[in-house]
């Protein structure tokens, strides 16, 4: 299972990704977690104390692997040795913090992005573990077809008009990439009225609602980790994990028939 988690900035995709990682680890799976957000948070949420420098901030390494010389660079950089050098490992969890290139004025930093995209694709294609990717916010990565190797896309949305509009945009782009297993997860859904609203917006694509929870929100506000959180949001995350397993098994049966 290779799962990408995305959505508009501020919807809680990193916390959803972290709790999904926790649930799969507790279920006995080995998990490869990939943080591909420009502002990586998975290490903190997973209570990893060691300082991990995102690959995107290793400018000399990226330039070297891109074989950057003036305006020229390679489209096929060497990346297969990077996971062994920079992957954090702990009790069934492998964490790779990629980050993403961001430049003042909106420059594309193409050589560096090429290395990061190739590394992400390599990780997705070669891992035999459950893979959970915390994608960058918004929809830019769809324009680069970065998510094409994934098995399932989870779009996190809030019961708010701006978040819902971004989710519809992501659904449209996912369809253009021929991604089939694309589902919407409602976050911070406070009541039945909000849940009905989201179900009406997304129909069969709507998978589950995650509730609000004061303890969970306090943890987010104070920047605490989530490994010992077992409140109502996590109970729903475990239900989400079961749904993912069912959908994955169904896809496998269809592929064999």
Neighbours of 248 (CB within 10 A): 17
Tokens at residue 221, please?
A: 């506000």
pLDDT for the residue numbered 106: 43
**Long-range pairs of 221-226 with CB within 8 A, sequence gap ≥ 24:** 223/44, 225/44, 225/45, 225/46, 225/47, 226/15, 226/18, 226/19, 226/22, 226/45, 226/46, 226/47
Answer for the pair 121, 78: CB distance below 8 angstroms, yes or no: no
DSSP labels, 117-161: HHHHHHHHHH--SEEEEEPPSSSHHHHTTTTTT-SEEEEEE-SSH
We report the CATH number of the domain holding residue 175 as 3.40.50.300
pLDDT for the residue numbered 48: 94
Range of the domain at 85: 2-256
Instruction: Calculate Rg over the CA atoms of the chain.
Output: 18
Tokens at residue 199, please?
A: 């179900």
Tokens at residue 164, please?
A: 């819902």
In tens, the pLDDT along 187-237 reads 999 999 999 999 999 999 999 999 988 888 888 888 889 999 999 999 999
b/e per residue 69-106 (b: at least 16 CB within 10 A): eeeebeeebebeebbeebbbeeeebbbbbbbbbeeeee
pLDDT-flagged residues of the chain (< 50)? 104-107
pLDDT for the residue numbered 137: 77
Tell me how many domains the chain contains: 1
Supply the pTM of this predicted model.
0.90
Alpha-helical segments (H) within the chain: 13-26, 42-45, 59-65, 82-86, 110-126, 140-143, 161-176, 192-202, 214-222, 232-256
Answer for the pair 41, 35: CB distance below 8 angstroms, yes or no: yes
* Among the listed residues 139, 154, 103, 144, the one whose alpha carbon sits nearest the alpha carbon of residue 120: 144
């Amino acid at each position: 299972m290779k799962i990408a988690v995305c959505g508009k900035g501020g919807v809680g995709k990193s916390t959803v990704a972290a709790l999904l990682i926790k649930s799969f680890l507790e279920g006995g799976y080995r998990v490869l977690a990939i943080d591909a957000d420009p502002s990586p948070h998975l290490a903190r949420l997973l209570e990893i104390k060691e300082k991990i420098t995102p690959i995107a901030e290793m400018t000399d390494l990226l330039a070297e692997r891109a074989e950057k010389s003036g305006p020229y660079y390679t489209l096929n950089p060497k990346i297969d040795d990077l996971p062994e050098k920079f992957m954090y490992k702990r009790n069934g969890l492998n964490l790779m913090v990629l980050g993403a290139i961001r430049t003042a004025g909106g420059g594309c930093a193409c050589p560096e992005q090429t290395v990061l995209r190739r590394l992400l694709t390599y990780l997705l294609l070669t891992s035999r573990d459950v893979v959970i990717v915390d994608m960058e916010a918004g929809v830019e990565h769809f324009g680069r077809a970065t998510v094409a190797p994934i098995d399932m896309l989870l779009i996190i949305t809030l019961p708010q008009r701006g978040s819902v509009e971004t989710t519809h945009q992501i659904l449209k782009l996912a369809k253009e990439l021929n991604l089939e297993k694309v589902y919407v997860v409602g976050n911070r859904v406070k009541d039945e009225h909000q849940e009905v609203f989201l179900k009406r917006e997304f129909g069969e694509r709507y998978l589950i609602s995650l509730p609000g929870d004061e303890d969970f929100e306090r943890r987010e506000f104070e920047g605490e980790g989530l490994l010992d959180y077992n409140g109502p949001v996590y109970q729903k995350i475990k239900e989400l994990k079961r749904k993912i397993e069912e959908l994955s098994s169904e896809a496998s049966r269809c592929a064999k028939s």
